[in-house]
Amino acid sequence: MFCFQCEQTAKGTGCTVGGVCGKKGNTADLQDKLTGALIGLAKTAIAGKATASSNKAMIDGLFTTVTNVSFNDETLQVLIDHVKAEAAKLGTSESYDMAQLWSADEDIRSLKSLILFGLRGMAAYAHHAYVLGKMDDAVNAFFYKGMAAIGEEKSADELLALVMELGSVNLKCMELLDAANTGTYGSPMPTQVSCDIEAGPFIVISGHDLHDLKLLLEQTKDKGINIYTHGEMLPAHGYPELHKYPHLKGNFGTAWQNQQKEFDIPAPVLFTTNCIMPVKPAYADRIFTTSVVSYPEMVHIDDNKDFTPVINKALELGGYKERHKMTGINGGDTLMTGFARDTVLSVADKVIDAVKAGDIKHFFLVGGCDGAKPGRNYYTDFVKQTPKDTIILTLACGKFRFNDLCIGQIGGLPRIMDMGQCNDAYSAIKVAIALSEAFNCSVNELPLTLVLSWYEQKAVCILLTLLSLGIKNIYIGPSLPAFMSPNILKTLVEKFALTPISTPEADLKKILG
Ligand code: SF4
Protein backbone atom coordinates (compact mmCIF):
# COMPACT_ATOMS: atom_id res chain seq x y z
CA MET A 1 0.00 0.00 0.00
CA PHE A 2 0.95 3.63 -0.31
CA CYS A 3 -1.05 6.50 1.13
CA PHE A 4 0.03 9.99 2.17
CA GLN A 5 -3.22 11.87 1.91
CA CYS A 6 -3.67 12.97 5.52
CA GLU A 7 -1.72 14.91 8.09
CA GLN A 8 -0.96 11.95 10.35
CA THR A 9 0.74 9.91 7.62
CA ALA A 10 3.54 7.64 8.87
CA LYS A 11 6.89 9.37 9.49
CA GLY A 12 5.56 12.43 7.67
CA THR A 13 6.20 10.70 4.35
CA GLY A 14 3.59 7.99 3.72
CA CYS A 15 1.85 4.93 5.17
CA THR A 16 3.25 1.77 3.57
CA VAL A 17 2.51 -1.05 6.00
CA GLY A 18 -0.95 -0.19 7.30
CA GLY A 19 -2.30 3.27 7.93
CA VAL A 20 -1.82 5.28 11.09
CA CYS A 21 -5.61 5.78 10.78
CA GLY A 22 -6.09 2.01 11.09
CA LYS A 23 -6.62 1.40 7.38
CA LYS A 24 -5.26 -2.01 6.32
CA GLY A 25 -3.01 -2.55 3.30
CA ASN A 26 -5.76 -4.43 1.42
CA THR A 27 -8.21 -1.60 1.99
CA ALA A 28 -5.71 1.00 0.75
CA ASP A 29 -5.08 -1.11 -2.37
CA LEU A 30 -8.83 -1.34 -3.01
CA GLN A 31 -9.15 2.43 -2.58
CA ASP A 32 -6.43 2.80 -5.22
CA LYS A 33 -8.36 0.43 -7.51
CA LEU A 34 -11.50 2.49 -6.94
CA THR A 35 -9.60 5.69 -7.76
CA GLY A 36 -8.12 4.06 -10.88
CA ALA A 37 -11.63 3.04 -11.99
CA LEU A 38 -12.88 6.61 -11.38
CA ILE A 39 -10.07 7.96 -13.57
CA GLY A 40 -11.18 5.52 -16.29
CA LEU A 41 -14.76 6.74 -15.88
CA ALA A 42 -13.61 10.38 -16.02
CA LYS A 43 -11.70 9.90 -19.26
CA THR A 44 -14.87 8.68 -20.97
CA ALA A 45 -17.34 11.00 -19.27
CA ILE A 46 -15.27 14.07 -20.09
CA ALA A 47 -16.26 13.67 -23.75
CA GLY A 48 -19.78 14.88 -22.94
CA LYS A 49 -21.07 11.44 -22.03
CA ALA A 50 -21.67 12.01 -18.30
CA THR A 51 -25.03 10.95 -16.89
CA ALA A 52 -26.77 11.53 -13.56
CA SER A 53 -25.70 8.06 -12.40
CA SER A 54 -22.07 8.54 -13.49
CA ASN A 55 -22.02 11.86 -11.59
CA LYS A 56 -23.23 10.11 -8.46
CA ALA A 57 -20.75 7.26 -8.89
CA MET A 58 -17.90 9.80 -9.27
CA ILE A 59 -18.91 11.86 -6.24
CA ASP A 60 -19.59 8.92 -3.92
CA GLY A 61 -16.51 7.05 -5.13
CA LEU A 62 -14.27 10.00 -4.31
CA PHE A 63 -16.00 10.70 -0.98
CA THR A 64 -15.53 7.05 0.04
CA THR A 65 -11.74 7.43 -0.15
CA VAL A 66 -11.59 10.42 2.23
CA THR A 67 -9.70 9.54 5.44
CA ASN A 68 -11.80 7.81 8.14
CA VAL A 69 -14.78 7.10 5.86
CA SER A 70 -14.49 3.45 4.78
CA PHE A 71 -12.55 0.59 6.31
CA ASN A 72 -14.62 -2.07 4.57
CA ASP A 73 -13.13 -4.16 1.73
CA GLU A 74 -16.49 -5.70 0.82
CA THR A 75 -18.30 -2.43 0.23
CA LEU A 76 -15.26 -1.02 -1.57
CA GLN A 77 -15.31 -3.95 -4.00
CA VAL A 78 -19.04 -3.39 -4.62
CA LEU A 79 -18.31 0.27 -5.38
CA ILE A 80 -15.41 -0.60 -7.74
CA ASP A 81 -17.73 -2.95 -9.66
CA HIS A 82 -20.38 -0.23 -9.77
CA VAL A 83 -17.96 2.41 -11.11
CA LYS A 84 -16.69 -0.04 -13.74
CA ALA A 85 -20.28 -0.80 -14.75
CA GLU A 86 -20.95 2.96 -15.10
CA ALA A 87 -17.81 3.30 -17.24
CA ALA A 88 -18.87 0.30 -19.36
CA LYS A 89 -22.25 1.99 -19.97
CA LEU A 90 -20.29 4.93 -21.38
CA GLY A 91 -18.26 2.54 -23.54
CA THR A 92 -14.96 1.91 -21.74
CA SER A 93 -13.33 -0.66 -19.51
CA GLU A 94 -10.28 1.54 -18.97
CA SER A 95 -8.78 1.84 -15.50
CA TYR A 96 -5.68 3.72 -14.32
CA ASP A 97 -2.93 2.01 -12.34
CA MET A 98 -2.28 4.25 -9.31
CA ALA A 99 1.26 2.83 -8.99
CA GLN A 100 2.09 5.12 -11.93
CA LEU A 101 1.10 8.15 -9.86
CA TRP A 102 2.90 7.09 -6.70
CA SER A 103 6.15 6.51 -8.66
CA ALA A 104 5.91 9.64 -10.85
CA ASP A 105 8.37 12.57 -10.78
CA GLU A 106 7.92 14.13 -7.32
CA ASP A 107 6.60 17.50 -8.53
CA ILE A 108 4.10 15.90 -10.90
CA ARG A 109 3.08 13.47 -8.14
CA SER A 110 2.69 16.40 -5.77
CA LEU A 111 0.47 18.42 -8.11
CA LYS A 112 -1.64 15.43 -9.14
CA SER A 113 -2.05 14.50 -5.46
CA LEU A 114 -3.21 18.05 -4.71
CA ILE A 115 -5.81 17.62 -7.43
CA LEU A 116 -6.87 14.13 -6.32
CA PHE A 117 -7.11 14.95 -2.62
CA GLY A 118 -8.79 18.29 -3.30
CA LEU A 119 -11.38 16.50 -5.46
CA ARG A 120 -11.97 13.96 -2.70
CA GLY A 121 -12.72 16.81 -0.30
CA MET A 122 -14.94 18.61 -2.78
CA ALA A 123 -16.84 15.37 -3.43
CA ALA A 124 -17.92 15.36 0.22
CA TYR A 125 -19.49 18.80 -0.23
CA ALA A 126 -21.06 17.87 -3.57
CA HIS A 127 -22.56 14.77 -1.91
CA HIS A 128 -24.15 16.79 0.92
CA ALA A 129 -25.55 19.23 -1.62
CA TYR A 130 -27.03 16.55 -3.90
CA VAL A 131 -28.83 14.76 -1.04
CA LEU A 132 -30.63 18.09 -0.57
CA GLY A 133 -31.41 18.26 -4.30
CA LYS A 134 -28.65 20.69 -5.39
CA MET A 135 -26.26 19.87 -8.23
CA ASP A 136 -24.16 22.10 -10.44
CA ASP A 137 -23.04 21.20 -13.96
CA ALA A 138 -19.74 23.09 -13.70
CA VAL A 139 -18.87 21.34 -10.44
CA ASN A 140 -19.79 17.92 -11.86
CA ALA A 141 -17.80 18.57 -15.03
CA PHE A 142 -14.69 19.52 -13.06
CA PHE A 143 -14.65 16.17 -11.24
CA TYR A 144 -14.15 14.51 -14.63
CA LYS A 145 -11.68 17.11 -15.87
CA GLY A 146 -9.53 16.86 -12.75
CA MET A 147 -9.64 13.08 -12.50
CA ALA A 148 -8.92 12.61 -16.20
CA ALA A 149 -5.85 14.88 -15.84
CA ILE A 150 -4.40 12.57 -13.20
CA GLY A 151 -4.30 9.79 -15.77
CA GLU A 152 -2.77 11.94 -18.50
CA GLU A 153 0.65 13.39 -19.33
CA LYS A 154 0.59 17.00 -18.12
CA SER A 155 3.27 19.57 -17.46
CA ALA A 156 3.75 21.08 -14.01
CA ASP A 157 2.39 24.41 -15.29
CA GLU A 158 -0.74 22.78 -16.67
CA LEU A 159 -1.30 20.93 -13.40
CA LEU A 160 -0.72 24.07 -11.31
CA ALA A 161 -3.37 25.85 -13.37
CA LEU A 162 -5.75 22.96 -12.67
CA VAL A 163 -4.96 23.14 -8.95
CA MET A 164 -6.04 26.80 -8.93
CA GLU A 165 -9.11 26.03 -11.03
CA LEU A 166 -10.05 23.37 -8.49
CA GLY A 167 -9.90 26.02 -5.77
CA SER A 168 -12.35 28.23 -7.71
CA VAL A 169 -14.70 25.35 -8.49
CA ASN A 170 -14.69 24.32 -4.83
CA LEU A 171 -15.88 27.83 -3.91
CA LYS A 172 -18.84 27.24 -6.21
CA CYS A 173 -19.39 23.83 -4.62
CA MET A 174 -19.34 25.29 -1.08
CA GLU A 175 -21.74 28.00 -2.25
CA LEU A 176 -24.03 25.27 -3.58
CA LEU A 177 -23.95 23.47 -0.24
CA ASP A 178 -24.49 26.70 1.67
CA ALA A 179 -27.59 27.35 -0.47
CA ALA A 180 -28.76 23.76 0.09
CA ASN A 181 -28.29 23.96 3.87
CA THR A 182 -29.70 27.44 4.44
CA GLY A 183 -32.47 26.90 1.86
CA THR A 184 -33.60 23.74 3.64
CA TYR A 185 -32.93 24.52 7.30
CA GLY A 186 -32.80 28.34 7.45
CA SER A 187 -29.92 30.67 8.29
CA PRO A 188 -28.03 29.60 11.41
CA MET A 189 -28.69 31.63 14.56
CA PRO A 190 -26.38 31.95 17.58
CA THR A 191 -27.26 29.02 19.82
CA GLN A 192 -25.97 27.80 23.15
CA VAL A 193 -25.49 24.04 23.29
CA SER A 194 -25.31 21.99 26.47
CA CYS A 195 -22.57 19.38 27.00
CA ASP A 196 -24.69 17.42 29.52
CA ILE A 197 -26.66 14.28 28.71
CA GLU A 198 -30.20 14.03 30.09
CA ALA A 199 -31.49 10.85 31.74
CA GLY A 200 -33.12 8.30 29.45
CA PRO A 201 -32.53 6.79 25.99
CA PHE A 202 -30.44 8.78 23.55
CA ILE A 203 -28.68 8.58 20.19
CA VAL A 204 -25.40 10.26 19.26
CA ILE A 205 -25.11 11.34 15.63
CA SER A 206 -21.67 12.08 14.21
CA GLY A 207 -20.40 13.44 10.89
CA HIS A 208 -21.58 16.27 8.66
CA ASP A 209 -24.85 15.14 7.07
CA LEU A 210 -27.66 17.46 8.18
CA HIS A 211 -30.15 15.54 6.02
CA ASP A 212 -29.51 12.34 8.00
CA LEU A 213 -29.93 14.29 11.24
CA LYS A 214 -33.25 15.72 10.05
CA LEU A 215 -34.54 12.24 9.13
CA LEU A 216 -33.41 10.84 12.47
CA LEU A 217 -35.12 13.70 14.34
CA GLU A 218 -38.35 12.97 12.46
CA GLN A 219 -38.16 9.24 13.13
CA THR A 220 -37.49 9.72 16.87
CA LYS A 221 -40.22 12.32 17.41
CA ASP A 222 -42.38 11.49 20.47
CA LYS A 223 -40.43 8.30 21.18
CA GLY A 224 -38.80 9.52 24.40
CA ILE A 225 -35.34 9.43 22.79
CA ASN A 226 -33.01 12.42 22.88
CA ILE A 227 -30.55 13.21 20.09
CA TYR A 228 -27.04 14.56 20.67
CA THR A 229 -24.65 15.83 18.02
CA HIS A 230 -21.01 14.80 17.95
CA GLY A 231 -18.00 16.44 16.29
CA GLU A 232 -18.80 18.27 13.06
CA MET A 233 -22.56 17.84 13.63
CA LEU A 234 -22.44 20.48 16.42
CA PRO A 235 -23.34 23.45 14.12
CA ALA A 236 -26.66 21.73 13.29
CA HIS A 237 -28.05 23.26 16.51
CA GLY A 238 -27.92 26.73 14.92
CA TYR A 239 -30.26 25.89 11.99
CA PRO A 240 -33.87 26.88 12.87
CA GLU A 241 -35.42 23.90 11.08
CA LEU A 242 -33.28 21.49 13.12
CA HIS A 243 -33.20 23.49 16.35
CA LYS A 244 -37.00 23.40 16.50
CA TYR A 245 -37.00 19.72 17.54
CA PRO A 246 -37.13 19.73 21.35
CA HIS A 247 -35.41 16.34 21.54
CA LEU A 248 -32.28 17.71 19.81
CA LYS A 249 -30.80 18.23 23.25
CA GLY A 250 -27.12 18.98 23.11
CA ASN A 251 -23.67 17.88 22.03
CA PHE A 252 -21.95 14.71 23.17
CA GLY A 253 -18.22 14.47 23.76
CA THR A 254 -15.24 16.35 22.49
CA ALA A 255 -13.23 16.10 19.28
CA TRP A 256 -13.56 13.12 16.93
CA GLN A 257 -10.13 11.71 17.76
CA ASN A 258 -11.25 11.11 21.37
CA GLN A 259 -14.09 8.76 20.34
CA GLN A 260 -12.30 5.55 21.34
CA LYS A 261 -12.12 6.91 24.91
CA GLU A 262 -15.62 8.42 24.94
CA PHE A 263 -17.94 5.97 23.15
CA ASP A 264 -18.39 3.31 25.84
CA ILE A 265 -21.81 4.78 26.62
CA PRO A 266 -25.37 3.43 27.11
CA ALA A 267 -26.45 4.64 23.67
CA PRO A 268 -25.92 3.99 19.95
CA VAL A 269 -23.73 6.19 17.74
CA LEU A 270 -24.62 6.82 14.10
CA PHE A 271 -21.81 7.85 11.72
CA THR A 272 -23.07 9.80 8.71
CA THR A 273 -19.64 10.74 7.28
CA ASN A 274 -16.02 10.79 8.43
CA CYS A 275 -14.53 10.57 11.01
CA ILE A 276 -14.96 6.96 12.16
CA MET A 277 -11.94 5.41 13.89
CA PRO A 278 -11.20 1.69 14.31
CA VAL A 279 -14.07 0.45 16.47
CA LYS A 280 -13.14 -0.89 19.94
CA PRO A 281 -14.86 -4.10 21.16
CA ALA A 282 -16.11 -2.18 24.24
CA TYR A 283 -18.68 -0.33 22.12
CA ALA A 284 -18.79 -2.27 18.82
CA ASP A 285 -22.39 -3.41 19.43
CA ARG A 286 -23.68 0.16 19.26
CA ILE A 287 -21.96 1.64 16.21
CA PHE A 288 -24.10 2.21 13.11
CA THR A 289 -23.04 3.61 9.75
CA THR A 290 -24.92 5.13 6.84
CA SER A 291 -24.24 6.68 3.43
CA VAL A 292 -20.60 6.23 2.28
CA VAL A 293 -19.33 5.33 5.76
CA SER A 294 -18.58 1.65 6.16
CA TYR A 295 -16.85 -0.48 8.77
CA PRO A 296 -16.72 -4.30 8.79
CA GLU A 297 -19.46 -5.96 10.86
CA MET A 298 -21.17 -2.71 11.90
CA VAL A 299 -24.89 -2.39 11.03
CA HIS A 300 -25.28 -0.18 7.96
CA ILE A 301 -28.41 1.88 7.37
CA ASP A 302 -28.99 1.85 3.62
CA ASP A 303 -30.36 4.56 1.34
CA ASN A 304 -33.96 4.03 2.44
CA LYS A 305 -32.82 5.67 5.74
CA ASP A 306 -34.91 3.54 8.05
CA PHE A 307 -33.18 4.18 11.38
CA THR A 308 -35.26 1.57 13.28
CA PRO A 309 -32.19 -0.52 14.28
CA VAL A 310 -30.57 2.59 15.83
CA ILE A 311 -33.81 3.56 17.58
CA ASN A 312 -34.31 0.03 18.96
CA LYS A 313 -30.73 -0.01 20.22
CA ALA A 314 -31.28 3.33 22.02
CA LEU A 315 -34.40 1.94 23.71
CA GLU A 316 -32.63 -1.31 24.61
CA LEU A 317 -29.61 0.46 26.16
CA GLY A 318 -31.81 3.00 27.96
CA GLY A 319 -29.25 5.78 28.40
CA TYR A 320 -28.15 7.19 31.74
CA LYS A 321 -30.33 6.82 34.85
CA GLU A 322 -29.84 10.47 35.73
CA ARG A 323 -28.45 13.62 34.11
CA HIS A 324 -24.83 12.95 33.12
CA LYS A 325 -22.48 15.89 33.50
CA MET A 326 -19.96 16.40 30.70
CA THR A 327 -17.65 19.24 29.68
CA GLY A 328 -15.49 20.38 26.80
CA ILE A 329 -11.75 19.78 26.94
CA ASN A 330 -11.10 22.95 28.95
CA GLY A 331 -13.86 22.25 31.47
CA GLY A 332 -16.58 24.48 29.96
CA ASP A 333 -20.10 23.01 30.11
CA THR A 334 -21.71 24.80 27.15
CA LEU A 335 -20.69 25.53 23.57
CA MET A 336 -21.85 28.36 21.30
CA THR A 337 -22.45 27.88 17.57
CA GLY A 338 -24.47 29.47 14.75
CA PHE A 339 -22.39 32.56 13.88
CA ALA A 340 -22.72 32.07 10.14
CA ARG A 341 -22.48 34.86 7.56
CA ASP A 342 -25.99 36.28 8.00
CA THR A 343 -25.56 36.67 11.76
CA VAL A 344 -22.11 38.22 11.52
CA LEU A 345 -23.10 40.51 8.65
CA SER A 346 -26.25 41.59 10.49
CA VAL A 347 -23.95 43.27 13.03
CA ALA A 348 -21.45 44.45 10.40
CA ASP A 349 -22.03 48.13 11.31
CA LYS A 350 -21.23 47.40 14.93
CA VAL A 351 -18.10 45.46 13.93
CA ILE A 352 -16.92 48.21 11.57
CA ASP A 353 -17.48 50.88 14.24
CA ALA A 354 -15.60 48.78 16.79
CA VAL A 355 -12.66 48.44 14.38
CA LYS A 356 -12.68 52.19 13.64
CA ALA A 357 -12.83 53.02 17.36
CA GLY A 358 -9.90 50.67 18.00
CA ASP A 359 -11.97 48.31 20.18
CA ILE A 360 -11.29 45.47 17.74
CA LYS A 361 -7.65 45.41 16.63
CA HIS A 362 -7.51 42.15 14.73
CA PHE A 363 -9.57 39.18 13.51
CA PHE A 364 -8.25 35.65 13.48
CA LEU A 365 -9.85 32.78 11.62
CA VAL A 366 -8.62 29.81 13.64
CA GLY A 367 -10.19 26.90 11.85
CA GLY A 368 -9.75 23.54 10.22
CA CYS A 369 -9.71 19.92 11.21
CA ASP A 370 -8.53 18.40 14.44
CA GLY A 371 -6.33 15.34 14.75
CA ALA A 372 -4.63 13.06 17.22
CA LYS A 373 -0.99 14.02 16.75
CA PRO A 374 0.72 15.95 19.55
CA GLY A 375 1.42 19.60 18.78
CA ARG A 376 -2.21 20.51 18.11
CA ASN A 377 -2.49 22.21 21.49
CA TYR A 378 -0.85 25.08 19.55
CA TYR A 379 -4.38 26.11 18.56
CA THR A 380 -5.68 26.13 22.17
CA ASP A 381 -2.66 28.09 23.32
CA PHE A 382 -2.91 30.46 20.38
CA VAL A 383 -6.54 31.33 21.19
CA LYS A 384 -5.78 31.67 24.90
CA GLN A 385 -2.94 34.09 24.12
CA THR A 386 -4.81 36.33 21.68
CA PRO A 387 -5.17 39.85 23.08
CA LYS A 388 -8.54 40.89 24.51
CA ASP A 389 -9.18 43.32 21.65
CA THR A 390 -9.21 40.57 19.02
CA ILE A 391 -12.00 38.39 17.65
CA ILE A 392 -11.66 34.68 16.86
CA LEU A 393 -13.79 33.32 14.04
CA THR A 394 -13.72 29.56 13.86
CA LEU A 395 -15.11 26.64 11.88
CA ALA A 396 -14.70 22.86 11.44
CA CYS A 397 -13.71 20.45 14.19
CA GLY A 398 -10.41 22.04 15.22
CA LYS A 399 -12.51 24.36 17.40
CA PHE A 400 -13.11 21.59 19.94
CA ARG A 401 -9.64 22.55 21.23
CA PHE A 402 -11.02 25.88 22.50
CA ASN A 403 -14.77 26.25 21.92
CA ASP A 404 -15.64 25.75 25.59
CA LEU A 405 -13.33 28.59 26.69
CA CYS A 406 -14.83 31.79 28.05
CA ILE A 407 -12.56 34.55 26.75
CA GLY A 408 -15.02 37.41 26.99
CA GLN A 409 -16.88 39.75 24.65
CA ILE A 410 -16.28 42.95 22.72
CA GLY A 411 -19.24 45.32 22.54
CA GLY A 412 -21.70 42.49 23.20
CA LEU A 413 -20.08 40.19 20.61
CA PRO A 414 -18.48 37.01 21.91
CA ARG A 415 -14.76 36.91 21.18
CA ILE A 416 -15.07 33.34 19.83
CA MET A 417 -17.65 32.94 17.05
CA ASP A 418 -18.25 29.48 15.60
CA MET A 419 -19.25 29.82 11.95
CA GLY A 420 -20.03 26.12 11.46
CA GLN A 421 -18.66 23.07 9.69
CA CYS A 422 -15.58 23.03 7.45
CA ASN A 423 -17.68 23.84 4.35
CA ASP A 424 -18.83 27.00 6.15
CA ALA A 425 -15.45 28.39 5.16
CA TYR A 426 -17.79 29.79 2.51
CA SER A 427 -19.44 31.90 5.22
CA ALA A 428 -16.05 33.12 6.44
CA ILE A 429 -15.07 34.07 2.89
CA LYS A 430 -18.31 36.03 2.45
CA VAL A 431 -17.69 37.90 5.72
CA ALA A 432 -14.07 38.68 4.76
CA ILE A 433 -15.16 39.99 1.35
CA ALA A 434 -17.92 42.12 2.93
CA LEU A 435 -15.44 43.61 5.42
CA SER A 436 -12.94 44.34 2.67
CA GLU A 437 -15.67 46.17 0.73
CA ALA A 438 -16.70 48.12 3.84
CA PHE A 439 -13.11 49.20 4.46
CA ASN A 440 -12.45 49.72 0.78
CA CYS A 441 -9.40 47.48 0.75
CA SER A 442 -8.44 43.98 -0.36
CA VAL A 443 -8.96 40.96 1.92
CA ASN A 444 -5.17 40.78 2.31
CA GLU A 445 -5.15 44.34 3.68
CA LEU A 446 -7.74 43.61 6.38
CA PRO A 447 -6.60 43.16 9.99
CA LEU A 448 -7.36 39.47 9.50
CA THR A 449 -5.10 36.42 9.74
CA LEU A 450 -6.04 32.84 8.88
CA VAL A 451 -4.50 30.25 11.18
CA LEU A 452 -5.49 26.86 9.82
CA SER A 453 -5.16 23.30 11.04
CA TRP A 454 -5.47 20.51 8.51
CA TYR A 455 -6.00 16.77 8.79
CA GLU A 456 -7.90 15.35 5.84
CA GLN A 457 -8.81 16.16 2.25
CA LYS A 458 -11.62 18.66 2.78
CA ALA A 459 -9.01 20.98 4.27
CA VAL A 460 -7.03 20.58 1.04
CA CYS A 461 -9.86 21.84 -1.19
CA ILE A 462 -10.59 24.72 1.22
CA LEU A 463 -6.93 25.77 1.20
CA LEU A 464 -6.96 25.71 -2.60
CA THR A 465 -10.09 27.90 -2.60
CA LEU A 466 -8.39 30.45 -0.36
CA LEU A 467 -5.30 30.45 -2.58
CA SER A 468 -7.42 30.76 -5.72
CA LEU A 469 -8.94 33.90 -4.18
CA GLY A 470 -5.43 35.30 -3.78
CA ILE A 471 -5.53 35.19 0.02
CA LYS A 472 -2.00 35.42 1.39
CA ASN A 473 -0.10 34.94 4.64
CA ILE A 474 -2.10 31.89 5.76
CA TYR A 475 -0.55 30.09 8.72
CA ILE A 476 -0.86 26.32 8.39
CA GLY A 477 -0.12 23.42 10.73
CA PRO A 478 0.49 21.34 12.65
CA SER A 479 2.75 20.03 9.87
CA LEU A 480 2.92 20.54 6.14
CA PRO A 481 1.37 17.97 3.77
CA ALA A 482 3.72 15.10 2.91
CA PHE A 483 2.43 15.26 -0.66
CA MET A 484 3.81 18.74 -1.23
CA SER A 485 7.24 18.37 -2.83
CA PRO A 486 9.91 20.94 -1.89
CA ASN A 487 9.53 22.67 -5.28
CA ILE A 488 5.73 22.89 -5.10
CA LEU A 489 5.90 24.10 -1.51
CA LYS A 490 8.46 26.74 -2.53
CA THR A 491 6.13 27.91 -5.32
CA LEU A 492 3.19 28.25 -2.91
CA VAL A 493 5.31 29.99 -0.27
CA GLU A 494 6.69 32.47 -2.80
CA LYS A 495 3.35 33.17 -4.44
CA PHE A 496 1.06 33.15 -1.39
CA ALA A 497 3.38 33.51 1.61
CA LEU A 498 1.95 30.26 3.00
CA THR A 499 3.59 30.01 6.43
CA PRO A 500 4.07 26.94 8.65
CA ILE A 501 3.01 27.59 12.26
CA SER A 502 5.81 27.92 14.83
CA THR A 503 4.83 28.78 18.41
CA PRO A 504 1.75 30.81 19.44
CA GLU A 505 4.02 33.43 21.02
CA ALA A 506 6.23 33.86 17.97
CA ASP A 507 3.36 33.78 15.49
CA LEU A 508 1.26 36.28 17.43
CA LYS A 509 4.24 38.59 17.69
CA LYS A 510 4.84 38.33 13.95
CA ILE A 511 1.17 38.91 13.11
CA LEU A 512 0.44 41.72 15.53
CA GLY A 513 3.89 43.33 15.43
S1 SF4 B 1 -5.43 8.20 5.41
FE2 SF4 B 1 -3.64 9.06 6.49
S3 SF4 B 1 -3.16 7.63 8.16
FE4 SF4 B 1 -4.60 6.59 6.77
S5 SF4 B 1 -3.29 5.41 5.42
FE6 SF4 B 1 -3.63 7.39 4.41
S7 SF4 B 1 -1.97 8.75 5.06
FE8 SF4 B 1 -1.98 6.96 6.43
User: ∠ CA 341-345-350 to the nearest 5 degrees?
Assistant: 145
Q: In the prediction, which pLDDT does 317 show?
A: 98
Residue nearest to atom 6 of ligand 1 (CA): 3
In whole angstroms, give the CA distance from residue 384 to residue 390. Answer: 11
Q: Is 228 in the pocket of ligand 1 (CB under 6 A)?
A: no
- Report the C-alpha gap between 248 and 229 in whole angstroms: 8
Residue-level pLDDT at 509: 97
Q: Choose the residue to mutate in 5, 102, 275, 454 for probing ligand 1, maximizing ligand atoms within 8 Å of C-beta.
A: 5
Q: Looking at the domain that runs over 191-317, which CATH code has it been given?
A: 3.40.50.2030
Ligand 1 atom nearest to 4, measured from its CA: 7
For the chain, give every residue range classified as CATH 1.20.1270.
Answer: 10-164
Residue 191 DSSP SS3: strand
pLDDT at 426: 96
Beta carbons within 8 Å of 483's beta carbon, 6+ residues apart:
4, 5, 109, 110, 113, 114, 117
* CA distances in angstroms from 116 to 84, 136, 217, 387, listed in the order given: 19, 19, 35, 39
Among protein residues, the one whose CA lies closest to atom 1 of ligand 1: 67
**In which residue ranges of the chain is CATH 3.40.50.2030 found?**
191-317, 339-512
Tell me the C-alpha to C-alpha distance, in Å, between residue 44 and each of 34, 141, 299, 391: 16, 12, 35, 49
Q: Are strands 248-251 and 226-230 parallel, antiparallel or unpaired?
A: parallel
Q: What is the pLDDT of residue 296?
A: 98
246 CA from centroid of ligand 1 (Å): 39
Dist. CA 8 → ligand 1 center (Å): 7
CB 124 within 8 A of CB 63: yes
The candidate with the shortest Cα–Cα distance to 335, out of 471, 242, 257, 230, is 230
Rounded Cα distance between 418 and 420, Å, is 6
Would you state the pLDDT for residue 372?
82
Give the dihedral sign, CA 149/492/430/456. Answer: positive
Third-level CATH fold of 339-512: Rossmann fold (3.40.50)
| CATH no. of 10-164 | 1.20.1270
Give the pLDDT score at 431.
95
Residues of the chain with pLDDT under 50: none
Vertex 294 angle, CA 291 and 296, to 5°: 150
Closest to 475 measured CA to CA, from 461, 487, 463, 457: 463
How confident is the model at residue 441, as a pLDDT? Answer: 96
Q: Is 68 in the pocket of ligand 1 (CB under 6 A)?
A: no
- Pairing mode, if any, of strands 191-194 and 334-337? antiparallel
> Does ligand 1 lie within 6 Å of residue 67's CB atom?
yes
| CA gap 39, 30 in Å, rounded | 14
To test ligand 1's pocket by mutation, which of 7, 17, 67 has the most ligand atoms within 8 angstroms of CB?
A: 67
Distance (angstroms) between ligand 1 centre and the Cα of 24 equals 10
The residues with which 122 forms a beta bridge, in sequence order, are none
**For position 440, what pLDDT does the model report?**
95
Three-class SS of residue 45? helix
Asked if 199 contacts 323 with a C-beta cutoff of 8 angstroms, the reply is yes
